[in-house]
Structure 1
């Protein structure tokens, strides 16, 4: 006898979308059988034509607690994640105080999150000037790798690495390094302006191209793994393709906003669209989609990076003064599904990009798939239903999003985390470490 059986005519498995009955005992999936197979279970639910997806894995989330909890906190961020079908997040090391740049800071962050998390949570460490000697101990403590900036991060306590400092960090510890790749020599100070075009001009594509070349050179010289975060500039794709062909261990991700939003359609003063690197034009997005379908871009993650409405400078609409970051952890699945279906992609593609591949990036073999032995992280998703985004109905702390008012396809009706239904009332998430 198993604890739970979920039946659906559209179960997204590694073998494709099939009718199936998914049996769960404890925290794990123990069988994926025929849709109408008899199973003795404590609870059985027939979802009919609603799709059953594996819980999404978002490896790029800024929670900001402790220290900047007014921007976002673990309770609100993880409740939003679960409502959006995300059952695993990996928290970025900056914007919290202290940043996660040594083992003591990791303990402080875990203590702040304890008892508050509604999904499973892992942590990235941070590589900053002067902390290379602390990276091995932090890696041994279970962080999934190290985040590094090659340009100003926006917060003074997390300064960028030079090319030489990045090379030193990679030589110090055999770990995955995830890199914010913009080259400061190609960035320009943005003048005070409500015009998005002025902000975009201050962060040209060449800044990404140059920084990605730096990261690739470090990976080539060291033999270490380097992952390019939130790729925005499609012109850098040939650099990545050539490096991979040479055997360099480099991968890249992109985000929903780079795939679905268009610089030419951003209104003046709409600072909720500001992020770094910036949203570029529709032709650029088309190239990112092709690279995603070809596997050159590994995965799609949120880069959920919220702040207070005041820091977004919605009062003035000044892009230069506004904080750069987009809050989207709850909306990534419907945003991507809405665009993907219009381009002829299916649910299996979206699950590959947003569940399996991010799990593989982090080495989480039991996450991001509906298969025997995997964690019973499951999402009931109606791909045909629609809704209009109301920021005040989202669960992240501050009601700011560039998707406000957009009609999206795909509604999450229920989420299970390791076999238990996530309701938002009880914080049942667990901490994950690299050994998991």
Structure 2
């Protein structure tokens, strides 16, 4: 295989169902050109964690090899990795700053100082702080909440920052799956999966007039993101995914789990929908369960009722979680669905009945597809991982450059904060 000198970025997502690897280059600004893609079953993963590290590690190595074969050149870095799982929690840290200007005018340097104070966080023992922390909101003395308060007048400014804490041992287990397979090549950065998802769908500096929500319906985890112009009002995950729907189908219809998984994937071909039509046995579906020679005829309505019940329960749980975190009332008029679960017929119509808003399939922005394979909703996270990883790498380089020029001073932090805000 020939080597390429251009800066080619590699994104690796080790998911519950499969390992996705994508290689790409950036033609200008944020425009991504996809050069290669390979997907490999992960086999022994549950809710984004390895049940058997030996098996999953072997699958990661096979996936890397397959990606190199598809690209026609070796992976040389930078390599970005998505991290996901119930072992990651969001911690909100607040800091307050008295405004020195006699008129109370808030300037860029006030935002920088308030943010610096909120980032002064002591990591608990046994926890790992992910490198990305994001602004959630700014609060003024009169109680108003803003996402960019520059130019406003207030006696003080309070900032709320979201940090992402992971169980150190469980996070390192996931990290080592890729690090061991890469050998001498290092993982450049690790990105929280909801951040990667959002980076695929929303350009930087989204409008604050109406906050949009994207939901990724993965196999083991559901990721949520609501971006603002200067951060994220909400980022998080729920430990429910399409595997739970498949498990419900297996139990309700007395099917092997592999058959239930295949049934969920084939719903469009079987003319089954997420919104159940209660027509009893008017529509029958022929299924051949795994390791059984005899065909079974199952009412399509039975399949639909199981799928609708679980999906409706998930969407209602998401709505409650957003409400509990004060995010649902800020939600605009657009909700997007991503991930493999977004391919279930009429899932957008079902979600719209819960969120009371139009729901559509999330599409990545500024992407050129050169691999001859149609992009699907389940590719959004790995696409966003390339965008978020590159952005994170550029920020790190700029922060390091400014630190070398200015030293570890307040002026360095102000410049670094502006760079991070532009992320």
Larger radius of gyration, structure 1 or 2? 2
State the structure with bigger RCO (CA 8 A, min sep 6), 1 or 2: 1
TM-score, normalised via structure 2 length:
0.27
